[in-house]
Amino acid sequence: MIAGGFFFVDGGYHSPPMDSRTAALQAQVAALKHRRIRAAIAASRRPLVCATIDGMGINLENIHPENIGALDIHAQKKHVESSIRRMAGLTLFQPHDPNPNPRSLKPSTGQCLMGLRIDLCLESRFQSPYYLILAVDKRAFRIYKHTIPSFIPLSSLARSLLNSDFSAFARALRSALLLWTRRNCDLSLLSRLPAVSDLKFDHSLSLVDLTFRNSQIHLVYSSSGTPDKCIVLTDHKRDPLLEHQIFSHKGSLSDFFNSIP
Output the tens digit of pLDDT for each of the chain's 261 residues.
Answer: 333 333 333 333 344 444 555 666 666 666 665 565 555 444 443 433 333 444 334 455 566 666 655 554 444 454 444 544 555 688 888 887 666 555 555 544 556 888 899 998 877 677 889 999 998 877 788 898 899 999 999 999 999 999 989 889 999 999 999 999 989 889 999 999 999 999 999 999 999 999 999 999 999 988 777 788 999 999 989 999 999 999 888 888 899 998 888
Q: Are residues 142 and 220 in the same domain?
A: no
Q: Are residues 34 and 159 in the same domain?
A: no
Question: Coil, strand, or helix at residue 217?
Answer: strand
Q: Are 64 and 170 in contact (CB under 8 A)?
A: no
Q: Cα dist. 82→46, 53, 79, 133 in Å?
A: 10, 14, 10, 20
Any domain includes 6: yes
Any domain includes 83: yes
Any domain includes 19: yes
Residue range of the domain that includes 115: 45-183
Q: Are residues 35 and 69 in the same domain?
A: no
Q: Are residues 168 and 91 in the same domain?
A: yes
Q: Which of 151, 150, 255, 257 is nearest to 196 (CA)?
A: 257
Query: What was the pLDDT predicted at 153?
Result: 93
Looking at the 3D structure of the chain, how many domains does it have?
3
Q: Are residues 174 and 202 in the same domain?
A: no
What is the Cα Rg of the chain in Å?
24
Q: Are residues 53 and 172 in the same domain?
A: yes
Euclidean distance between CA atoms 88 and 117, whole angstroms: 10
Q: Which of 126, 130, 127, 169 is nearest to 147 (CA)?
A: 130
Q: Are residues 179 and 96 in the same domain?
A: yes
Any domain includes 189: no
103-135 burial by CB neighbour count: b if 16+ within 10 A, else e? Answer: eebeeeeebebbbbbbbbeeeeeebebbbbbbb
Q: Are residues 145 and 236 in the same domain?
A: no
Q: Are residues 142 and 173 in the same domain?
A: yes
Q: Are residues 113 and 142 in the same domain?
A: yes
Q: Are residues 71 and 162 in the same domain?
A: yes
Query: What was the pLDDT predicted at 114?
Result: 86
